[in-house]
Structure 1
Amino acid sequence: MIAELLSFFSSLDDHLAALAQASPLLFFGVVTLIIFAETGLVVMPLLPGDSLLFIAGAITALAGLNVHLFVAILCAAAILGDAVNYFVGSRLGMKAFERKDSRVFKQEYLLQTQAFYEKYGPFSIVMGRFVPIVRTFVPFLAGVAQMPYRTFFVYNVIGGVAWISSLTYAGYLFGNISWVRNNLSVIVIGIVAISVLPIVVKVWQEHRRSRRAS
């Protein structure tokens, strides 16, 4: 599984570059659809959001495409995705938690989410954007926890714009540097590793805590 993921990430830049050369419109559309799916569909938490944005920005520079238009489209997709995820959580989330606990929906998740928002406030919507997997579940659980939509919307926009623009423009600015261009696959894997590191640390801490308790 890990080998397959590494293989996918290592060749992601080649696939997207070929797509951008063949059809810039299709390139924009595919990247936009992936960003929407990762943020809007709670069943799609493993899509390569961070690395995808950096690569897409670099390819946009190399292909001479309009990066500002691209960023605007991606921001709209990210904001709309979180909004859809929020409404799904607000409409269907409580019904899922009212049923018998499953691997995905548990009463403790709802309680932990409510505690998380009480501790960190609405800014948790912004923070969650930069953490893989977490960014897929944050808007859904915000809906489940019945966060006021006006509050959610403001921080959804802030987080979406910050996430999309920072990574896409970073790829665009550094994409024309020869060293970055020649080592793009390594950089992508590094981005994935760094973004997943907080989750790995959390799992390790929970494992140690459970072993001490037992």
Structure 2
Amino acid sequence: MGSAVSAAVVAGESLGGSLLDPKSLLATFGPIGVFVVVFAETGLLIGFFLPGDSLLFTAGVLAATGAGSAVHVSLPAVLVAAALGAVTGAQTGFLIGRRGGGALLARSGNRYLHEGIARGSVLLTRYGYGKAVVLARFVPVVRTVLNPLVGVAGMPAGQFARWQVLGGLLWTAGVTAAGYLLGASVPDVDTYLLPIIAVVVLLSLSPLLVEVVRSRRAKRERA
């Protein structure tokens, strides 16, 4: 019994590590892992912590490094999996919001989700439904909460579907293509994945940080 429990714990830790480490996730699950992570991050509130940007970028790099590398994935398969995950995930999040997601958002005690909701509300106020849905794709946490948020706000379903498909395709194809171009142009770039991923994460968080600084500055000015 003890050995079974230990094996379960090790397996759980391995799965958790795979979900948070893009290279490990791709080595273990391939394009299916891309679909699951992108779907969960964009469709389920519990997926806000998942590494969508770094996963897509890493997949692009590894797709360009050739079949002889330690981890190799097919670029077309990654693009299809990512696009399907982004589109179906966003639609799921929207339906959750439409069918009573307001209470779910209000009950959430996670401060990152609350900050994402605040940033999403700023996007909606500044750009309106359509542009906000597209721009949210490029901001971690915000892309998780905005879909149910606009569902609660009553955005027309047809309008949401058009904008979220556009945003999903731009995000998944753009980030993956950026990784692919880097992998194709820089020899042995996959050996420097950790620092590159760190830069990608910082860049993806920069819009959120800018909004936080603006919000605090505005509060000081009002005070």
Q: Distance in 2 between matches of 1:39 and 1:160?
A: 9
1:206 aligns with 2:209: no
Alpha-carbon deviation of 1:62?
2.9
Counterpart-to-counterpart distance in 1, 2:107 and 2:204: 33
For 1:136, give the aligned amino acid: T
Whole-Å separation in 1 of the counterparts to 2:188 and 2:221 = 46
Unaligned runs of 5+ residues in structure 2 are 1-16, 68-72
Percent identity reads 31
CA distance in structure 1 between the partners assigned to 2:162 and 2:189 by the alignment: 35
Conserved 8 A contact 2:93-2:147: yes
* Cα displacement string for residues 136-183 of structure 1 (whole angstroms, at most 9, x for unaligned residues): 111111100110000000011101111111111222232242163332
Mapped pair 1:56 → 2:59: yes
Are the equivalent residues in 2 in contact too, given 1:40–1:81 (CA < 8 A)?
A: yes
Paired amino acid for 1:28: P
CA apart distance, 1:128 = 0.7
Q: TM-score, length-normalised on structure 1?
A: 0.77
Q: Which residue of 2 aligns with 1:87?
A: 95
1:30 has 2:39 as partner: no
In structure 2, the partner of 1:197 is: 206
The 3-state SS of whatever aligns with 1:73 is: helix
C-alpha distance in 1, partners of 2:82/2:218? 40
Instruction: State how 1:123-202 maps to structure 2 within 5 Å.
Output: 123-176=131-184, 177-178=186-187, 180-202=189-211
Residues 151 and 114 of structure 1: CA distance in aligned 2, closer, same or farther (over 3 Å):
farther
Alignment root-mean-square deviation, CA: 3.1
Structure 1, gaps ≥5 residues long: 1-7, 20-25
TM-score normalised by length of structure 2: 0.74
Once the two structures are superposed, residues 46-104 of structure 1 have per-residue CA deviations (whole angstroms, 9 ceiling, x without a partner) of 2111111000121223354431132112101110000000000011124457x899777
Change beyond 3 A, Cα 1:66–1:179: closer
